[in-house]
Structure 1
């Protein structure tokens, strides 16, 4: 139930203590504020254990305290029973426990119906915290998170173990991507060769997954390195990251398009991007490819260009540029290498 903030102001200086609990030292310490708490406010901290909570109970039995401030009620115990016992102990000593973590300050409800709902919420929260504690302990021991092992791995004890039956599929996916730089092409490759059908989204998740690199990634962003056998080596992983960064600079679908010039050329006259169009003739197996502006503003619109002719000239221009650049590169000192070999 909500509690008025004017209570502390009207009664003058209050004898207030604060209790904070964290599962691990890395958890953020919640801010707990109380109006007109005075300079004598004391703060008790616990990390993982409850020794300071027991010290707080002893101090409250020896010295009168008006209010105990906590961020949430579940900080007072691991179970609903433990929390209720601590709340009752403070109440017997005349200490009012106030939770400041919500939008309004909360105390334990007095109405039976409100108390029942409050206990249900408290039970769910304590259960969630126990699961979180278990996950943190598994992380400290380098164990994988709960759930099904990723495709290509099996759960072997407290580690991921490479699945000899499915790991070759994942390996082939990475090898095809490294060879051609096409995510959709790699997805089609394992579907045609191994019958393993995955979505493009799943394939992108494979490329960025820490598991296939031999690491474990957790929801809080932490990564533990070399926790199990890797399907993708460190060198290959670096190359995958470079290809992904390169593909981000290209228009959508360009990196996976079946045509080399798709999304890469534009009209010199109107500046619009050129799209690849395909024309077939009736009762003939051949096809004709041409490039046409996507949204040409001119009237009449810019005419299309033969795809093969543009591709040929593009390759010739790239070769000329490479040859010109190569002429300005410094030549290696062959004599020095020969002396080193001798």
Structure 2
């Protein structure tokens, strides 16, 4: 008994299947990529040496149309070969079977069209993101709406508050968006000049961006930083909100405001949100903790930054940069290889697409690394006057850039701070 197998794969849509995944003792596997030359060889071989069974994943692999599939089935039947399709029941009604083949082939044609668009770095189907419109082969900036998006990003970069940026748009432009939409804007590759596809792959520098790569990297750092904070504290007006915990009861501390009757003066305190002690841990004046925090940052931040292993960080950045440069050099050589006949145009497009997605992945890794000027920034913010000249919103931005947590260590009636930096 002789068992053979046949697979057809379009390289634009999917990788080749594992030839050993049939679960049968197969004498030979015929594999086609893009064209069906191996299928013709299979039919020729079976005329000289008959096979008993043919294993196939889907009947649609036998041709591009129902007529081609029907013709190949007739040829195989005339050769006395029993067909075993692993993903379709051959005993099903013939009309349903042909309908399934038509549906699969129509789906494949659509997917192939989308895949060819990816090879040309064309935008995926659908409406262009707000701030852009669709051009012939790429996104084009919409000059009437892009300033709104740009202002949204600038506000988030200035204050580090997503909800605050959403409120800012509603107030200045009467453009109402949800917080979820605002978060999608912040992470959408299109605004960074990149094109993302449904398969999760990204191609960089396909159109004019609204924000720079440096701004995009800063946005990603702000989003990661805000994700560590308790909910709704990222947009809180006070700079210490969400950072302070009580070392005694381990509760996060919230800012409370106290006023006196017939007086405009207010007093701010930090008190535990859910203290389990009895008596409860007492509140502490907000201004005192802020003053001690600034003192601790000016004193301890330079030494904390100095302990970072910058040579190792530089080595990682250099390695990623060199890999990206090598891929870019290969990408630039492809037109020459096509002209010399070493590569055909279709293969070159596939290789170019793969290289561009790999370059985008390397650039994404580079963007997650700390900025190279961290030491100079640490020196600048270690001056007490720097903090005194900032507003509360600006202090909130810088404190969260460096501090992961502030813990209040209580000692009877006294207390002191322990600052935990993010690095």
TM bucket by the smaller chain?
0.7 to 0.9
- Give 1:335's aligned residue: none
Q: Which of residues 150, 154, 167 in structure 1 aligns to 2:129?
A: 150
In structure 2, runs of 5+ residues without a counterpart are 308-374, 380-423
Consecutive unaligned residues in structure 1, runs of 5 or more: 1-13, 333-342
Q: CA offsets, 1:197-227, max 9 Å, x none?
A: 2222222222222111111112223222221
Other-structure match for 1:10:
none
In 1, the alpha carbon distance for the partners of 2:286 and 2:115 equals 58
SS of equivalent to 2:245 = coil
- Structure 2 counterpart of 1:96, from 82, 103, 124: 82
Counterpart in 2 of 1:121? 100
Q: CA deviation at 1:47?
A: 1.4
Q: CA deviation at 1:317?
A: 3.9
**RMSD (Å) for aligned C-alpha atoms:** 3.0
Q: Structure 1's 324 and 92: CA in aligned 2 closer, same or farther, altered over 3 A?
A: closer
* Conservation of the 8 A alpha-carbon contact between 1:266 and 1:293: yes
Provide, for residues 90-113 of structure 1, a one-character-per-residue CA deviation record: whole Å limited to 9, x for no partner. 12221222122x4xxx5522x6xx
Are the counterparts in 1 of residues 12 and 112 from structure 2 also a CA contact under 8 Å? no
Deviations 1:142-162 (CA, angstroms, capped at 9, x unpaired): 111111111111111121111
Give yes or no for the alignment of 1:55 onto 2:34: no
- Separation of aligned partners in 1, 2:103 and 2:186: 36
Q: Distance in 2 between matches of 1:297 and 1:284?
A: 33
Please report how far the alpha carbon of residue 268 of structure 1 lies from its aligned counterpart in structure 2 after TM superposition. 3.6
Structure holding more helix per residue: 2
Q: 1:322 to 1:93 in 2, by over 3 A?
A: closer
Which residue number in structure 2 is paired with residue 4 of structure 1? none
Cα offset for 1:256? 2.4
1:273-292 alignment runs, 5 A limit: 273-278=252-257, 288-292=267-271
Structure with bigger RCO (C-alpha 8 Å, 6+ apart): 2
- Determine the C-alpha separation between the residues in 1 that align with 2:110 and 2:122: 15
CA distance in 2, matches of 1:298, 1:172: 46
CA contact (8 A) 2:3 2:25 kept: no
CA distance in 1, matches of 2:295, 2:72: 81
Does the 8 Å CA contact 2:140/2:208 hold for their aligned counterparts?
Answer: yes
Which residue of structure 1 aligns with residue 277 of structure 2? Answer: 298
Matches within 5 A, 1:129-278: 129-278=108-257
Instruction: Give the equivalent residue in structure 2 for 1:3.
Output: none
Q: Say whether the 8 Å CA contact 2:4–2:54 is kept in structure 1.
A: yes
Q: Distance in 1 between matches of 2:104 and 2:266?
A: 65
Match of 2:90 in 1: 108
Aligned to 2:7: 20
* Match 1:33 to one of 5, 11, 22: 22
What is the match of residue 5 of structure 1?
none
Partners of 1:160 and 1:228 within 8 A in 2: yes
Check the 8 A contact 1:97/1:107 in 2, yes or no: no
In 2: Cα distance, 1:327 partner to 1:27 partner: 49
Q: Which has the larger radius of gyration?
A: 1
Give aligned pairs, total: 308
Do the aligned residues in 2 keep the contact of 1:25 with 1:47 (CA within 8 Å)?
no
Q: CA contact under 8 A between 1:78 and 1:130: conserved in structure 2?
A: no
CA–CA distance in structure 1, aligned partners of residues 153 and 280 of structure 2: 43
TM-score where L is the length of structure 1: 0.79
Q: How does 1:80-91 map to 2 (within 5 A)?
A: 80-91=66-77
